[in-house]
Every structure is written in structure tokens, then in C-alpha cells.
Amino acid sequence: MATLTPTVPSPSSTPATKLRRHQWLSIIGQAIRTPRGAIGLTLSTLIVLLAAIGPSVAPYNPDYFVGAPFAKPSGQFLLGTDYLGRDVLSRTLDGGWELLVMALAATVFGLLVGASAGISAAYLRGRSDGLIMRTVDVILAFPQLVFALLLVSILGPKLWLIVLAVGFSHAPAVARVLRSATLDVSERDFVKAVELQGMRSSTVMRKEILPNLISPIMVEAGLRLTYSIVIMAGLSYLTFGPPPPLANWGTDIGLNQLGLAPAANLWSVVVPATLIALLTIGTNTFTDAIARVAIGVDRKPEEAVLIDNIGLQTA
């Protein structure tokens, strides 16, 4: 009889083995350590902090008319006033958090719907696949903003509706990405192994497949968050957002457009626009860093070879 005492390999510390229980934490951790990730995260964190702390440090009540319309920046109003004579700085500090919360909620909703649809389509195949993906095609035929506008203009600008509309308009793209990722995973033998036990489809998807989709889900989450911010701001700009006088970066850009005239106060437009731009650049850069870590573009060559050597490639 062959001697069968297994030798115990020393716990290895290659990057491949780091990706485990809290894979998403480890991906974020590695992403932060790349220059791209660090810049992106710093940028978006700064804007988020500004939006979060802003309301409590605003010098004036953002809704009060405290000066002349379009007053230039002065000692009294650091960024001047808007078209109704409200303090631009106060409105800027106050007008971000709502946008952020709504964007976040829409992203979560979109991911939930899209991921469930995509994973089910890929795993169940057949008729369910056809039904889900054709629906997705129909929704995809509308540009995202137009689709959201359509829903909001039919049902009225209610906050929850905007969140649902934007989230729902993300679902098709998410569904497509996760469908293709699931198609790959669900053909692997470990899925067949639990199917052979007669495990229910929903359990297979939840317990066996989902944990293997963390990378694409994270990348999608970042991407959709960026889009949510832009669409939310866009809807507000088109006056489909939260109704005035509530301070909101998107709404303020729209209402203060006149301020771009040379005699007026251009800061009332430039400041909220810049903040939105910086925020989306930040989230997008960070997402890019995550994608590179998760998919492996930025892996060091030495690490790539080590992973090859321990046979991680699947036949």
C-alpha cells in the first residue's frame, strides 16, 4: 500500500490565495493600493464628505434670499448668490447629499433586479432565458435617460419613483453582463455536482454561483453608481428632480444658467457642475482600478507566473 500521509504545504501567500472569504474586501484593498484607485477613492471620498457634512456647516439657510440676485463673490457671500439671491456656497454644501443617496439607492435597486434577471436567465436557460433577455432588449432600446424621463413624466416627479426609474433603467445592462458571467460559471463541474444532489435551482444560484460572481458585480456596481449620479443630476437639471426650493446640484445648474452671462455670477453654475464632474471622475477611476484588480490587468508579472504554476488555469 502506498504511504498516504499528505505533506502539509506551508500556507502560501500568493495573491491567488488572498482572494477568498471576503473577496470583495480584498479586491477593494488591492485597488486602493494602485495609484489609480487611490486617486479615485480620495476624490470621491472628498466630495462625499463635503455633501455629508455640508448641510451642518452651511453659513446661511440655503432657501433664504440673503442678497441681490447674481451678486458676485464677496466677503459676505464667498461664492456669490444665485438667480434668486440665495447664497451659492450654502446651496452647494446642502445640495449634494440627496443626490448621493438617491444615486446609491438607484444603483442598489438596479443591481438587485439586473443580477437576479441575468443570473436566472443564464442558469435556467431555455424559455426563461428567452423571456428575460427579450425583455431586456426592449428596455435597452430606450436610451437610459429617455426611459427614466418617460416613467417620471407619466407618473410625476416623486423621489421614490425617480430612484426606481433610474435603477430599473440600469437593470438591462447589469443583466447582460451577469448573464455572460453566469453562463461561464454554471458550466463548471462544481455546479453539476450539486445538481446531481437534486438541489433546487434557486439554491444553486444563490449558494454556488453567486459567490463566484463577486468580481463582475463589483465592477458593475461602480459603473452603475457613476451612471446613476449623472442621470440623477441630469433629471434634476431637466427639472424632473426633487422640486425647488430644495437645494440640488443638478437643479441649480439648470436654474442658474443665466448666471453664465458676464455680468452675472458664473460660480452659481460652475461650482455644482464641477462637483458633479469630480464625483463621477472619482467613482469612475476607482471602479476602473477595481476592474483591473478583479480581472487582473494590473497584476504584477511575477504574480501571474506564480498563479500559472499552481495550476489555477482551468482546463
Give the footprint of other proteins on this chain (CB under 8 A): 1-12, 16-17, 19-20, 23, 188-190, 192-199, 208, 211-212, 300-306, 308-315
In contact, 250 and 232? CB cutoff 8 Å? yes
At closest approach, how far in Å is the CB of 53 from other proteins? 38
At closest approach, how far in Å is the CB of 301 from other proteins? 3
At closest approach, how far in Å is the CB of 268 from other proteins? 51
Measured from the CB atom, is 146 or 193 closer to other proteins? 193
How far apart are the two ends of the chain, measured CA to CA in Å? 31
Measured from the CB atom, is 1 or 263 closer to other proteins? 1
Measured from the CB atom, is 263 or 305 closer to other proteins? 305
Measured from the CB atom, is 23 or 135 closer to other proteins? 23
Measured from the CB atom, is 3 or 56 closer to other proteins? 3
At closest approach, how far in Å is the CB of 283 from other proteins? 27
At closest approach, how far in Å is the CB of 208 from other proteins? 6
At closest approach, how far in Å is the CB of 65 from other proteins? 58
Measured from the CB atom, is 214 or 281 closer to other proteins? 214
